[in-house]
Chain A
Amino acid sequence: MKNPFICLSRKDIEEILSFLKIEKIEDLFKHIPESLKISENLVLEGLSEQDTYKKIEEISQKNKIPESSRTFLGGGAYNHYIPSIIDHIVERSEFLTSYTPYQPEVSQGTLQAIFEFQTLLCQLTGMEISNASLYDGATSLVEAVFLGTRIYPERKVIWVSETLNPEYREVLKTYIQNFDYKLVVVPKTEEGTFDLKWIEKNISKDVLCFCFGYPNYFGIIEPVKEAVKILEKEKIITISCTSEMLSLGILKTPGELGVEIACGEGQSLGIPLSFGGPYLGILSTKEAHLRRMPGRIVGETEDREGKRGYVLTISTREQHIRREKATSNICTNQSLCALRACIYMALLGKEGYRELAQINAKRAYGLYQRIEKFSVFKKPFFNEFVVKIKNPEKLQEKGFYFGPPLEKDYPDLKDCYLIATTELNSKDSILEFAKAMEEL
């Protein structure tokens, strides 16, 4: 044995290599570009606990920690206030240590929390069913598309709006690269929405689905109803992807607009920004697609004494039973993050949720009105919009953070940045930010 932590014998390794018809283990990693590989053997030098803390602290000192109320960063992750009760409940060992129920029926508390999460999600999106959550917004989009492929196995063209988060589009592209699907980008108009005329002109029976952001990457509310009407003609599946779930507190729900699958990112619902994850994938749809939905679903039932109880349902289509024939390779969920979202939504309630959404929108519009001359698009938005500024570093010097910059993904949007406003941006900070921009 070469390595005490790898329990394969030399013989095992040789057998595997000969079965795979390759010469050495390294051949398994051929597809990874050389530039990304570590050429020498990675030797870790051990540090004492105390030295480790010191080292990590030194590294963390490099972080610039902006003042929360001066952070206007958007683009798929949002800076919201997290009520302390969320951490308090989530850190209870009954929830914290049993992250996903493998012997589900003995975990009634976990199942009930997931069931309530699904219920709240259905109410929020206006859909009939929701699963127990997925990994994050980008993979929820992928799973929504795959759900669509099970509805129309013969359709091979996937439409994605150019105004949908570019990172999500990239993840989708990666997932489908080895399938015979064709990914087509539906162009944006000069107003920052998807092009309805293009859709009308190019519509065909080969199109499986149309994916768009709601609100879109620029924060704009897309003409969903109009699109649904056109797409219905060829029964094309509409997939809405919401990165800022709070927006659904005041926007029409995807369900009301006739959308078939609503997916998205639930980070706004009580989940910390934490450098990009763990976040929360959301997927809800019509009941007709129940058996095509990936992941787990919790159902409410009665035991033999007529008492209410919860079960994992439709799990006979999951990987541990169906193996390679499973509906999807998702066989777990983001239980803890879903629990956070569940507590967050339950805590705010319907009215509180709407009120918070209104506060977000009002502050964003307040800022927008003051800096309108920098704005790029003139369409209704929720709490995020695009500005064009020449020297952003001057604002950063004053402690204002915003973005991401759009040029990388949209070459025509040179010097353009996203600005998002939440309840954490105080009125004073908003006025100061507007003033700083005026002085540019």
Chain B
Amino acid sequence: MTHHTIFFTKTHEWILPSEGKVGISNYAQGRLGDIVYIELTAQGKEVKKGDVIAVIESVKTTSDIYAPCDGKVLELNQEVTSNPGLINQDPEGAGWIIKIEVKEPFSSEGLMSKEEYETYIKTLSE
């Protein structure tokens, strides 16, 4: 079964299993502020869920971005390395960060649906 829906982690990454794209949520980019630099992991690297796949530097802080699932890093979004602001502008679209080769069957265990995530971030801002 292919997942065409987006999933979120508690650490504010998202994954679209059908394309393997991974990025950070709109909520996360808003909290980080203007993103000025991004450091990406190596292409072709095998990562485990929870491994650091990118380091994002904003004017306020520098944050680790974690892999939402196991898999091989297929592609790095060169658009965001040359223009990190893209993550602020379109975090859940053109501002994706890496593409992972998702192992089938994809397990959404420990991940949240968009609705669940929205409820989750409400509890954070309270």
Contact = CB atoms under 8 A, between A and B. Distances in A.
Interface of A: 291, 316-317, 321-322, 325
B61 A291 contact: no
Q: Is the interface of A mostly helix, strand, loop or mixed?
A: helix
Contacts of B59: 316
A321 B64 contact: no
B39 A321 contact: no
A316 B64 contact: no
Nearest to A327: B62
Interface string B32-59: 0000010100000000000000000111
A352 B61 CA distance: 43
Interface string B58-97: 1111101000000000000000000000000000000000
Contacts of B39: 291
Nearest to A316: B62
Contacts of B58: 316
A299 to B, nearest CB: 12
A291 B57 CA distance: 10
B64 A325 contact: yes
Contacts of A316: 57-62
18 contacts: A291-B37, A291-B39, A291-B57, A316-B57, A316-B58, A316-B59, A316-B60, A316-B61, A316-B62, A317-B57, A317-B62, A321-B60, A321-B61, A321-B62, A322-B61, A322-B62, A325-B62, A325-B64
A165 B37 CA distance: 38
- Give the 10 A-B residue pairs with the shortest CB-CB distance, closest first: A316-B62, A321-B61, A317-B62, A316-B61, A316-B57, A322-B62, A321-B62, A316-B60, A325-B64, A291-B39
B61 to A, nearest CB: 5
A316 B58 CA distance: 8
Nearest to A325: B64
B59 to A, nearest CB: 8
A20 B116 CA distance: 39
Interface residues of B, number: 9
A317 B64 CA distance: 11
Nearest to A317: B62
A325 B59 CA distance: 17
A233 to B, nearest CB: 23
A316 B32 CA distance: 11
Q: Which of B58, B59, B61 has its CB near the most chain A CB atoms (within 10 A)?
A: B61
A17 B116 CA distance: 42
Contacts of A325: 62, 64
Contacts of B60: 316, 321
Given A316-B61, A322-B61, 16 more contacts: A291-B37, A291-B39, A291-B57, A316-B57, A316-B58, A316-B59, A316-B60, A316-B62, A317-B57, A317-B62, A321-B60, A321-B61, A321-B62, A322-B62, A325-B62, A325-B64
Nearest to A290: B37
Contacts of B62: 316-317, 321-322, 325
A202 B107 CA distance: 49
A291 B62 CA distance: 11
Q: Which of A316, A317, A321 has its CB near the most chain B CB atoms (within 10 A)?
A: A316
Contacts of A317: 57, 62
A325 B57 CA distance: 13
Contacts of A321: 60-62
A291 B56 CA distance: 12
A65 B49 CA distance: 65
A336 to B, nearest CB: 28
A317 B57 CA distance: 8
Nearest to B39: A291
Contacts of A322: 61-62
Contacts of B61: 316, 321-322
A277 to B, nearest CB: 32
Nearest to B56: A316
Nearest to B52: A325
B66 to A, nearest CB: 13
A64 to B, nearest CB: 52
A296 to B, nearest CB: 14
A152 to B, nearest CB: 13
A147 B83 CA distance: 26
A30 B37 CA distance: 45
A423 to B, nearest CB: 45
A224 B62 CA distance: 37
B55 to A, nearest CB: 9
Contacts of B57: 291, 316-317
Contacts of B37: 291
A325 B62 CA distance: 9
Nearest to B37: A291
A162 B66 CA distance: 43
A250 B115 CA distance: 68
B53 to A, nearest CB: 15
A291 B59 CA distance: 14
Nearest to B59: A316
A291 B55 CA distance: 11
Nearest to B36: A316
B56 to A, nearest CB: 10
